[in-house]
Amino acid sequence: MPDRKQAAEKNTEQSHVEGRYFMRFTQAQRTLHAILFTTFLGLAATGLPLRFSESIWARKFASVVGGFGAIIFIHKLCAVVLTLAFLIHVIDIFKRALVHHEKGIFWGATSMVPNWKDAKNLFGHFRWFLGLGPKPQFDRYAYWEKFDYWAVFWGMIVIGISGYAMWFAPFFAHFLPGWALNAVLVIHGEEGLLAILFIFSIHFVNTHLRPDSFPMDMVVFTGVESEEEFRSKRAQEYERLAVQGKLEARISEKPEPWLVNFCKVAGFAAILIGLVLLVLTLSAYFKE
Ligand code: HEM
């Protein structure tokens, strides 16, 4: 093991050159994330006025966009686009694992599946918060990134199935009793609110507002990060790629200024809309 460590240190030092950028997310992953966040914002912005249709802002919003019929239409349109993006993602995972036999999708350092090391990192992080130990080092995905991913994955299944059951209620009534169709409305509404609260508070804080990334982590928008960011945020991944001699393959161009500016505007707009929806959700919920 010391040999491996020494080789990693040597490789890491040799390969560290100021001003380099590394690819983290491919164009396809960034496109799917962009579709995910725009349709999610659309679903949240239309789901809330449906859920709190008596509130003044819901009625104002409805009168601006052409009535509650238009709101339902936009909600369903966003739902179909989001469902397609979700299916593309799931099919891609299975294709990479089963057809291309890509290693590390369901287990290991590059997998989204939580493992023992995530539990150790979680406890290590709390120890570090309390000043009782060193800051843990992370690999490709940190435990909170996996948590956010599975929260959305699970949420998509629950919200999607209940949403389509409401949409095509006469069809589902062939298999489900009447009470189940009523339950579906409650499940969809409450899970929708939970998703809005989760994404616009925990996900925003975890990803953008923590000190390492404040005020916004641009990597999911531009796809690349500087070498300094890579080494400080994902030291174990950097070291692992250096040992395997795969670091150079990830070197990428510095993002163009127009792209960075565009991503900043789009990202801040999304965060702002999200925070407004969060405030509306909380205020409407507590007034009920
Ligand atoms: C595949 C995804 C989805 C589908 C198919 C879907 C479908 C629907 C349908 C058919 C309705 C009822 C509209 C009506 O009143 O006629 C509805 C309501 C609603 N949706 Fe969705 N939706 C989806 C995703 C989401 C998401 C991601 C959210 C949250 C961000 C959300 C939040 C809501 C809320 C809060 C309501 C109002 C529920 C109530 O009245 O209590 N939906 N949805």
* Residue 175 CA, ligand 1 centroid: distance in Å: 21
pLDDT in tens, 66-106: 999 999 999 999 999 999 999 999 999 999 999 999 989 99
* 133: pLDDT strictly greater than 90: yes
* 150: pLDDT strictly greater than 50: yes
Q: What are phi and psi of 226, to 5 degrees?
A: -70, 160
How far apart are the C-alpha atoms of 33 and 145, rounded to whole Å? 14
How much is the average pLDDT of 43-47?
97
**Average pLDDT of the chain to the nearest whole number:** 91
The pLDDT value recorded for residue 17 is 53
* Residue 133 CA, ligand 1 centroid: distance in Å: 45
Question: Of the residues 41, 86, 154, 159, which should be mutated to test ligand 1's pocket, given the most ligand atoms within 8 Å of the CB?
Answer: 159
Residues flanking ligand 1, CB < 6 Å: 40, 43-44, 47-48, 50-51, 72, 75, 79, 82-83, 159-160, 163-164, 166-167, 185, 188-189, 192, 195-196
CA-closest residue to ligand 1 atom 11 = 163
How much is the average pLDDT of 177-195?
95
pLDDT in tens, 191-250: 999 999 999 999 988 888 888 888 888 999 999 999 999 999 999 999 999 999 999 999
The pLDDT value recorded for residue 205 is 87
